[in-house]
A and B are shown apart, each in its own frame.
Chain A
Amino acid sequence: EAQVTQNPRYLITVTGKKLTVTCSQNMNHEYMSWYRQDPGLGLRQIYYSMNVEVTDKGDVPEGYKVSRKEKRNFPLILESPSPNQTSLYFCASSPLTSLVNTQYFGPGTRLTVL
Chain B
Amino acid sequence: KNEVEQSPQNLTAQEGEFITINCSYSVGISALHWLQQHPGGGIVSLFMLSSGKKKHGRLIATINIQEKHSSLHITASHPRDSAVYICAVANYGGSQGNLIFGKGTKLSVKP
Interface residues of A (CB under 8 A from B): 31, 33, 35, 40-45, 48-50, 56, 58-59, 88, 90, 92, 97-105, 107-108
Contacts and interface: CB of A to CB of B under 8 A. Distances in A.
A43 B45 contact: no
Contacts of A107: 41-42
A99 B32 CA distance: 9
Contact of A45 (B43, B44, B45, B99): B99
Interface of B is mostly: strand
B73 to A, nearest CB: 19
- Point out which of A43, A58, A105 has the most chain B C-beta atoms below 10 A from its C-beta: A43
B97 A56 contact: yes
10 shortest A-B CB distances, which residue pairs?
Answer: A99-B90, A42-B103, A105-B43, A43-B101, A48-B97, A100-B31, A102-B45, A42-B101, A103-B45, A108-B41
B90 A108 contact: no
Contact of B33 (A49, A88, A103): A103
Nearest to A43: B101
